[in-house]
Amino acid sequence: MNLHEIQTGLAKGKFTLKTIVRNYLNTIEKNKDLNVFITLFNKGTIDRAEEIDSKTKTGKAGKLAGCIVSVKDVIAVKDKPLTCGSKILSNFISLYNATAIERLTEEDAIIIGKVNCDEFAMGSSNEHSYFGATKNPVDKERVPGGSSGASAVSVATDMCNISLGSETGGSVRQPASFCGVTGLKVTYGRISRYGLVAFASSFDSIGIFAKSNYDIAKVLEVIAGYDEKDSTSVLNPVDNYSELLNNKFKSGEIIFGYPKEYFTEGINEDILKGIQHKIELVKKAGFEVKEISLPHSEYVIQTYYILTSAEASSNLERYDGIRYGYRAGNEDSNLNDMYINTRSEGFGDEVKRRIMLGTYVLSAGYYDEYYKKAQKARRLIVKDFENAFKEVDYIITPTTPNTAFKIGEKIDNPLSMYLNDIFTASANLAGVPAISIPAGFDRNGLPFGIQIIGKKFNEAGLLRICDFL
């Protein structure tokens, strides 16, 4: 059931929210082997459901009553663990709610628990977690994608009906594709980052997973919008997204483009055929589809990893064993040894790799050669999208070049792992919204998605497109 169906059933007394929550908790228990949840809010969730059932009877329930949400463990929930999938924060309890969490709970959404993720959101497979890898529900020998892989799994397996993830270079859309659900990455600044632990501050955003476009629309209505606590949030008005879903696009009203640089060698044959089939359906529906160019696409991965690693090396400096989190050594250790041992023991290999890369590209003698050049390349990529959107309204691409790979298959090959973001990272570099929608299955029965990229702050258009693709 989508949120509208749940709320209708609750209003008519067909079932209670307490019953729904218990069903979700039972599903979570049955699927423990997938290693989805780091922290589960069992008792508090049941108590909260009873409160909302009482409010429903008096007609005072919030607009998200019936919405059960899992939260990627990089987003702060007050008085609950905030681990970021890392040993260095494994004992840390959040002192406050993220703005997105505050807005959800004010409208009677229920947070059911915190889910696994790649450490500090650095990864494309959900294997880089101190708490172990999460498994793909379609094939447990395969990854669910990352870094928000467990968020995608929680929705795909009906452990909740909504999950909040985070996006830096495809960390919502890529696992959505691998797990066969819908994942929305919003325009940078559309949802407040207050309470989202920073990986790369000029890229990060909170994203939404669901099976229903309506559910994503309702949640976005609540959590989007300006926040004075976040200097990067934007003062643009928030659309009534769920009502706009009823406004169907008319034939010839919009133009789609597909970038020739995204349809080249190296894409899984079944994915390529599936995306081409979707493009033909768009044409048959009466919409114009034209080939476009994003000429600097070949520099996306290099630019993305230089800039995000540089920002990560700065953001992760705060984890020193003094202020909070894991501390190595004892009272007799000197300060320098404590710093070194805390970070050596507290951070995993992938986080260390990116800190080292980021520190290198920011160092004297290399700043101009790498970091400054990458910033110039980012500007060219932004310009590519600005030029493309003068010709078309939406851009169609594959979400990923392949379907879910096996656990351990790419863990020792960072470059191969990074290339999973080849079609998604450009939207983060440009700050534009994008969505991954289930598009089919490959010959092995593994799901894949189609990606639609839109103009800034046109999340409404992306959600409307979901209805006919």
Which is the catalytic residue, given 94, 163, 166, 171? 171
3-class SS of residue 49:
helix
Got the DSSP string for 88-131? GGTT-B-SS--HHHHHHHHTT-EEEEEE--SGGG--SSS---TT
Which is the catalytic residue, given 70, 72, 166, 185? 72
Rg (CA), the chain: 21
Give pLDDT, residue 331: 67
Q: Among this protein's residues, is 147 annotated catalytic?
A: yes
Q: Quick one: which of 202, 284, 274, 187 has its CA closest to 238? A: 187
Q: Token digits for 51?
A: 């409160």
pLDDT along the chain (469 residues), means of 10: 94 96 97 98 94 96 98 98 98 97 98 98 97 98 98 98 98 98 98 98 98 97 98 95 92 94 92 96 94 97 97 95 86 84 96 97 95 98 98 98 97 89 97 98 97 98 88
Give pLDDT, residue 361: 97
CATH of domain 3-244: 3.90.1300.10
For the chain, the 3-state helix, strand and coil shares in percent, each to the nearest 5, are: 45, 15, 45
DSSP state of 197: P
Give pLDDT, residue 267: 94
Q: Among this protein's residues, is 436 annotated catalytic?
A: no
pLDDT in tens, 413-425: 988 898 889 999 9
Give pLDDT, residue 313: 96
Whole-angstrom distance, CA of residue 276 vs CA of residue 273: 5
Give pLDDT, residue 251: 85
Domain boundaries, the chain: 3-244
Which is the catalytic residue, given 70, 147, 151, 426? 147
- Pairing state between β 37-40 and 288-292: unpaired
Whole-angstrom distance, CA of residue 196 vs CA of residue 176: 20
